[in-house]
Amino acid sequence: MKNIKIAIVLLGLIFTGCSGYLEEENLGNTTAENYYTTEKGYEGLVNAAYASLRNVYQPTPYMFCAGTDLFFNAHDEVPVGLASYQTLTPGTAEVEVFFSTLYQSIQKTNMGLAYAERTEDFSALKTRVAELKTIRAYYYFLLVQNFGDVTLVKDMINEPITHFERTPAKDVYQFIIDELKQAIIDLPPTQSNFGRVTQRAAQHILAKVYLTRGYESYASPSDFSDAATLADAAIAGQALNLTFDKLFEYNKDKNEEVLWSVQYAPGSTQSGGLSHNWDYPWGPLVQGANDGVLKKSTLHPTKYLLTLFEDNDTRFEGTFLNIKTTPYSGWRLSPTTSPVAYYYPRTASQIVGVPAWRAADPVNRTNTIISPIGDHWWDRLNITDYPALKKYDRVQTSTPSIQYTHDLYLARLGETYLIAAEAYFKAGNTGNAINRINVVRQRAGASIKASVDLDFILEERARELAGEGFRWLDLKRTGKLMEYTKISNPDIKALFDTGIDPFLGKGGNFKILRPIPLSAISLDSGDYSQNPAY
């Protein structure tokens, strides 16, 4: 909160273009008033708002992925409060960073929107304003889901403010919806620069906003049907044409199914540059094995996740690396010449077919250790011998100080179909729900379903989106966080098994929302209230 109380002067910013490359702009003695009122200066403000997405998503993704049914805490680096809730407090550092970074980022969008009233007119101005409104709405959507009632700051802050009020979540949702509805009108269907917000991206986000609000006590009766309509509009008749393994393929981040992403590029991930840390926690342990890769087993896949896929479901091999080469990046950069140290067969046919698998490449596979699916895959003491979640694997490029960093997908078409499926199901249209979910399953080679329920939809989201940062929000949205983690997360199950409810907090309230950080409360001159349970 300190960062929204103190006037923030953004002169001399390093603006980041939405294409993903850092470009320094030396303004010299130019003032904000005469620079940001030009087309070039204003575009810099918009680019700074896009760059703020990197700040939000840069840390190891414990805020998004820890403490769910899909991953458990396998290392003391993971904040225990986020992993198992019992020790989650207003002093948890990762919560404070997330909260303050979102407000810093909102300040950048507010600055861009403020200067929209002062800058010279140019052809793209209306579109740029709609982009900023979408980014700001997205940030408030993250805030309201995590913290409930939050301060709604709509204007650029350029002088000290000592007290803020928390806006009821109901009003925050309405603000988000109103902003996105206007943005959808003003945004073009496509943009010449990949990564800029489009009309379809905003429709995807608004569909999810309606879907999420639909579960709340203050929901509108039409929220689920509105979510379904918007999701279908974002789909726009586009089929899932890529095979699942192509979605996260090396150096193919700009594929046809990505509606919106946080962009990265080799030139932006030099030492000291902003990359993200989403490749790091999934393990197994790799520490600079000849190719600059650093992975730790901090968030370990649960048995539930590793056994959730049908035999023919290609999303397992599209999500997890079923081999481990030497060096680690060999599977991507030189698969024909990299020895396979481990092979992880999971189906009966794969296990029976090991001799044929070896014979297909005897040079690289003769000495491979065969490690079939079993209890050791989800043993917390096993940090080296299990399939790696590979979606964000970092790859060393030809320049030692630069690594390829995979873009982070904030909205992609496979999820849009699943948003539509859940929305149709909740709206009572099970036929359309089944249709949308079967589109996703057909692409994966999974069996076609004749019926669905909410539990199955959440299973499908786990198979499709594992590790992409949506699971905590999914479980919180649907009211399944306590139910699912109690069964499938070994850390949380162990606490329940000993008679401890880790979610139970102050006053008999449950830790479903995150705590408001101590810094926000202590720096406020008035009474900035805490969430229940803390």
Phi, psi of 439 (to 5 degrees): -60, -45
- Measure Cα distances from 22 to 48, 129, 135, 263, 532 in Å: 10, 22, 19, 11, 42
The answer to whether 168 and 148 have CB atoms below 8 angstroms apart is: no
Question: What does the block give as tokens for 347?
Answer: 């189906």
Phi, psi of 299 (to 5 degrees): -110, 105
Rounded Cα distance between 47 and 18, Å, is 6
Rounded Cα distance between 21 and 46, Å, is 14
What pLDDT does 40 receive?
95
What pLDDT does 48 receive?
95
Question: Which of the residues in the chain have pLDDT under 50?
Answer: 1-24, 268-272
The answer to whether 1 and 517 have CB atoms below 8 angstroms apart is: yes
The answer to whether 407 and 20 have CB atoms below 8 angstroms apart is: yes
What pLDDT does 33 receive?
79
Rounded Cα distance between 149 and 443, Å, is 39
Question: What does the block give as tokens for 44?
Answer: 């810099």
Run of H or E including 343: strand 340-343
CA 279 from chain centre, in angstroms, equals 13
Backbone angle region of 99, left / alpha / beta, with phi > 0 → left and psi within -120 to 50 → alpha: alpha
What DSSP string runs through 86-139? Answer: TT--TT-HHHHHHHHHHHHHHHHHHHHHHHTTTSPP-TTHHHHHHHHHHHHHHH
Segment 18-77, tens digit of pLDDT: 334 334 355 566 777 789 999 999 999 999 999 999 999 999 999 999 999 999 999 999
Rounded Cα distance between 346 and 341, Å, is 17
Question: What does the block give as tokens for 491?
Answer: 């850390």
The answer to whether 43 and 75 have CB atoms below 8 angstroms apart is: no
CA 384 from chain centre, in angstroms, equals 25
pTM attached to this predicted model: 0.93
Question: What does the block give as tokens for 476?
Answer: 């919180």
User: 490: closest CA among 319, 299, 279?
Assistant: 299
The answer to whether 281 and 73 have CB atoms below 8 angstroms apart is: no
User: 363: closest CA among 335, 391, 392, 328?
Assistant: 335
Beta bridge partners of 287: 294
Question: What does the block give as tokens for 334?
Answer: 């030189």
User: 420: closest CA among 225, 137, 140, 143?
Assistant: 225
